Amino acid sequence: MTDRPPHRRAQASFYAAALLWLPAGVLVSAAIRFGTASVAPDEGAAALMALPSLIVAAVCGLPLALACRRLGRLGHARTAWIVGIVLGVATVAASLPAGLLGPPGIAIVAVVLSLPVWIAAFWLGRRARTNADAGSPPLDGQDRRP
């Protein structure tokens, strides 16, 4: 993996984290809620049966991660981290009851809770393009116009 350029490694790391944050949060919250000390054999089988829903949860974590990445690339990295953590915790907490409705419930909750970040990212992106057209430098880096 050392032969790849640094940006490829960073991209791979981002997508790995984007896919794993929601299932990890669900597992941690389940461990806190139900404990890990006494696991009967029946509960182990139930945990294996829950793996497909964790795969769905992995995909459902992408909207918030991608929205926060977009917000960070627009020059609001600190805000992206804060909003990502707060909405990530809210998504994990809301995905537990939504999981009772099945995978569509988890997907709907994840998309709805990532909407504020997408709206902010689109608004800031449009504002940056408008400012760039008006002659001021964009928010996300140096002015690269000739």
The H-or-E segment that residue 63 falls in is helix 62-73
- What pLDDT shows up at residue 67? 92
Residue range 112-138: average pLDDT? 79
Cα–Cα distances in angstroms (integers) from residue 91 to residues 46, 63, 87, 106, in the given order: 23, 11, 6, 9
pLDDT of 5 reads 64
Please classify residue 30 by burial: count the beta carbons closer than 10 Å to its beta carbon, then call 0-12 exposed, 13-18 middle and 19+ buried: middle
Does residue 141 carry a pLDDT above 60? no
The pLDDT value recorded for residue 8 is 80
Determine the average pLDDT of the residues in 93-111: 87
Q: What is the pTM of this model?
A: 0.73
**What average pLDDT does the segment 64-71 reach?**
92
Query: What pLDDT score does 114 carry?
Result: 93
Q: What is the pLDDT of residues 30-50, one digit of tens each?
A: 778 777 655 555 666 666 677
| Cα–Cα distance for residue pair 120/83, rounded to 1 Å | 11
pLDDT of 140 higher than 60: no
Condensed to tens digits (0 to 9), the pLDDT of residues 115-127 reads: 999 999 899 888 8
Cβ contacts of residue 136 below 8 Å, gap of 6+? none
pLDDT tens profile 21-34: 988 888 888 778 77
